Chain A
Amino acid sequence: MTTAPDAAQLRALIPAVLGVLVRRGADFTAAEDAVQEALLQALQRWPDEPPRDAKGWLVTAAWRKFLDANRSESARRAREHAVSSQPPAPEITGADDSLWLYFLCAHPSLTPASAVALTLRAVGGLTTKQIASAYLVPEATMAQRISRAKRTVAGARLDRPGDVGTVLRVLYLVFNEGYSGDVDLAAEAIQLTRRLAGVVDHPEVAGLLALMLLHHARRPARTGPSGELIPLAEQDRTRWDTAAIADGIGILQTALARHRPGEFQAQAAIAALHADAPTAAETDWPQIVQWYDELATLTDNPVVLLNRAVAVGEADGPRAGLAELAHLDPALPRYQAVQAHLTERTGDHAGAAELYTKAAGRADNRAERDHLTRQAARLNTAVRSAGAQPLTPGSGPS
């Protein structure tokens, strides 16, 4: 017996249906309106008459709505010309339709912010209001950002899928720069990436999905009751989501077995090694250093080398970490924070306190700044109470 899809399943069909309409030459906004109307119709009809092919039903209904809307407009002739002048879209599988929409929304002609907004709107099916509140901008601004993005890609021709990397970068941005509004952007990014993994067979898609799952698994342990950052080494690992970790590791292993290395797989492997360690002390740092070496061959992002210095500091001792750091540009974000951490571990608390203060001044987010300020305060307090001897220049450890 056929049963009607529930709301979540229905939402998952939106990008594919939208993709078909846009491919057939409907402009983005008109296509969205038509799909929305088709969904409403589905919600009314399906309880009594469940469709045999939900997506096919929606495509037919939406296309009809689109044509009706066009017919009733005064600019009918111009629009019909526009539609009929497009070559007919080949009949394609559902997978292709939504994949096509992912590529369109991550089109290289879009700025990252526009690509993110359009992806969440068209592929994710979020409302403009939800996206606006997630990124803390007025709804009118977000509406404009999205409609400009739609106009930008209106003329884009995608005869074949482009570089899947452009899509992955957009999804990574949604995940990593997600703000904490009403919408859980990290969960949204995971869902979008999982759906992408269902329609495109590429180890880096799997790598990104694994990376997201492994980091998301730590989320409950990453912040304290008042939102303060808790560093990895101090997290309560019993609060990590073991199901998400198992899921992420499984996906990663399958991807790695294909021997097509990539940046996201390497990052996920590092996250997996952290997830695997029952305690911070049992972390396999030498293997993490190896993965950073691999990662450094895959990307020239200097932040990789900074993170590698942290891992070397754990594997071979803080002085080895500082020696690695000495080769890097001090202007890198979080450079002083890493230097402070390694310096503290050499026993130079006064020096570390100074570096933490400097790092706090350079932090680009509040949680990190507050965390670094607390580290500096902790060390300064310890240094003050440590000695009867007053802190004068030259009295520090030599």
Chain B
Amino acid sequence: MAKYLLLKHYRGAPKGVNDVPMEQWTPDEVTAHLKYMQDFAKRLEATGEFVDGQALAPEGTFVRYDGEGRPPITDGPFAETKDLIAGWMTIDVDSYQRAVELAGELSAAPGAGGKPIHEWLELRPFLAEPPTVTE
């Protein structure tokens, strides 16, 4: 019973095996890819392991406090930012091994030529609640 975040990167992860930009795929390949992702989420709901999944717009803004009484400063997006998150899925699973297994399946989503994209997904454990018994 542990929650993990599966992070999908636009940029910043090592290159996948079948690394062709999506706009170079055929429309059917795009459809097949999206369907795979949806089916994956549905399947996890059915196994009782799905928590959340979201996609993010690629362009974001950097914001920071600029002192008392002043509006926050905004900046960016920065083209040179190394890491860019495309989206995530949160899963609630029995073990780290199960989380790795599921990340592997998600990374097998089909891409160009209908072949798995083998993209690198980042797996991050959530910090949990503290246990009651510690001594």
Contact = CB atoms under 8 A, between A and B. Distances in A.
Our verdict on whether A and B bind, yes or no, reads yes
Contacts of B48: 113-114, 117, 137, 141-142, 144-146, 148
Contacts of A274: 135
- Most A CB within 10 A of own CB, among B1, B46, B49: B1
* Interface secondary structure of B, over-half rule: loop
Contacts of A137: 48, 50-51, 92
Nearest to A303: B134
A368 B46 CA distance: 33
Contacts of A177: 1, 128-129, 131
Contact of B50 (A113, A135, A141): A141
A140 B45 contact: yes
A65 interface: no
Given A112-B1, A116-B1, A364 B127 contact: yes
A271 interface: yes
Contacts of A41: none
B24 interface: no
B135 A232 contact: yes
A215 B51 contact: no
Contacts of A141: 44-45, 48-51, 92
Interface string A190-230: 00000000000000000000010001100100000000010
B95 to A, nearest CB: 9
A180 to B, nearest CB: 6
B130 to A, nearest CB: 4
B125 interface: yes
Contacts of B1: 112-113, 116, 135, 173, 177
Contacts of A364: 125, 127-128
B94 interface: yes
Contacts of A54: none
Contacts of A365: 127-131
B38 to A, nearest CB: 15
A114 B67 CA distance: 50
Contacts of A186: 132
A130 interface: no
Contacts of A140: 45
* Interface secondary structure of A, over-half rule: helix
B2 to A, nearest CB: 8
B102 to A, nearest CB: 14
A310 interface: yes
A335 interface: no
Nearest to A149: B48
Contacts of A144: 45-48
Contacts of B3: 136
A141 B130 CA distance: 23
B79 interface: no
B133 interface: yes
A112 B94 CA distance: 7
A111 B92 CA distance: 12
A265 interface: no
A368 B129 CA distance: 9
Interface in A219-277: 219, 229, 232, 267, 270-271, 274
Interface string A358-373: 0000011111110000
B112 to A, nearest CB: 32
B127 A113 contact: no
Contacts of A146: 48
A295 to B, nearest CB: 11
A65 B134 CA distance: 47
A112 B92 CA distance: 12
Interface string B51-93: 1100000000000000000000000000000000000000011
Contacts of A117: 48
Interface of A: 111-114, 116-117, 135-138, 140-142, 144-146, 148, 173, 175-180, 186, 211, 215-216, 219, 229, 232, 267, 270-271, 274, 307, 310, 334, 363-369
19 contacts: A113-B92, A113-B93, A114-B48, A117-B48, A138-B50, A144-B46, A148-B48, A175-B133, A176-B131, A176-B133, A177-B129, A177-B131, A178-B132, A215-B132, A310-B135, A334-B134, A364-B127, A364-B128, A368-B130
| A-B CB proximity, top 9 nearest | A145-B48, A366-B127, A367-B130, A144-B48, A365-B130, A365-B128, A113-B1, A111-B94, A176-B131
